[in-house]
């Protein structure tokens, strides 16, 4: 199964990704981890990414897509993968779609974990990270709304988006995800 996990900061994507990748027997692909790995290994893409990062710039969509494309060609992704942190916007989603079409595949599922800003703020403040201030969180939510809401519409139009409420225990959210996967795989 090839799927993307989407949700605002603090929705529990990381927590759910761990068991989900294991449950599906597919690799969990975090673009942040892939970028750090490519930079650490000094690959051509890693060097380009490092140059942008060291200048305080965002890594361009095409570069991130190329990195993902390189990674999903590896043998452990033959039976699928779980993308976390990518795509973040419609342009990245279109690039990913082109990449998958070249391999004669497509996404099976885009799973959105929904959670209200008030609950998210409480969760993020409880994490205790130094960058989890109310001001920083508001900015993250604003970016999420402007970038990701159009992305959700893009995938809704393709018929692959499924949303679940994330305001529940870890186990309850996992059960909801499992129910969607069961429904998608039985079609």
Q: How sure is the predictor about 74, in pLDDT bands with cuts at 50, 70 and 90?
A: very high
Give me the domains of the chain, ranges plus CATH numbers: 2-181 (3.40.50.300)
pLDDT at res. 120: 84
Whether the predicted pLDDT of 128 surpasses 80: no
Q: How sure is the predictor about 71, in pLDDT bands with cuts at 50, 70 and 90?
A: very high
Helix (H) or strand (E) holding 32: helix 31-41
Q: What is the 3-state secondary structure (H, E, C) of 119-150?
A: HHHHHHHHHCCCCCCHHHHHHHHHHHHHHHHH
Q: pLDDT of 141-152, one tens digit each?
A: 888 889 888 999
What torsion do the CA atoms of 58, 35, 1, 69 make, to the nearest 10 degrees?
Answer: 80
Radius of gyration of the chain (CA): 16
Q: pLDDT of 12-37, one tens digit each?
A: 898 899 999 999 999 999 888 888 88
Q: What is the pTM of this model?
A: 0.88
For 65-70, what is the mean pLDDT? 91
pLDDT at res. 90: 95
> If 0-12 CB within 10 Å is exposed, 13-18 middle and 19+ buried, where does residue 73 land?
exposed
């Amino acid at each position: 199964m090839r799927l993307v996990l989407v949700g605002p900061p603090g929705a529990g994507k990381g927590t759910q990704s761990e068991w989900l990748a294991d449950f599906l027997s597919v690799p969990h692909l975090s673009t942040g981890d892939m970028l750090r790995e490519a930079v650490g290994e000094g690959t051509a893409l890693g060097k380009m990414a490092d140059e942008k990062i060291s200048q305080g710039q965002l890594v361009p969509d095409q570069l991130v897509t190329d990195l993902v494309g390189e990674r999903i060609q590896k043998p452990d992704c033959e039976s699928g993968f779980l993308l976390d942190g990518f795509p973040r916007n419609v342009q990245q989603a279109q690039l990913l779609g082109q990449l998958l079409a070249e391999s004669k595949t497509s996404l099976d599922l885009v799973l959105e974990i929904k959670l209200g800003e008030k609950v998210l703020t409480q969760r993020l403040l409880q994490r205790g990270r130094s960058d989890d201030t109310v001001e920083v969180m508001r900015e993250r939510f604003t970016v999420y709304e402007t970038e990701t809401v159009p992305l959700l519409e893009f995938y809704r139009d393709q018929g692959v988006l499924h949303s679940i409420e994330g305001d529940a225990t870890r186990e309850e959210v996992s059960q909801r995800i499992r129910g969607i996967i069961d429904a998608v795989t039985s079609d």
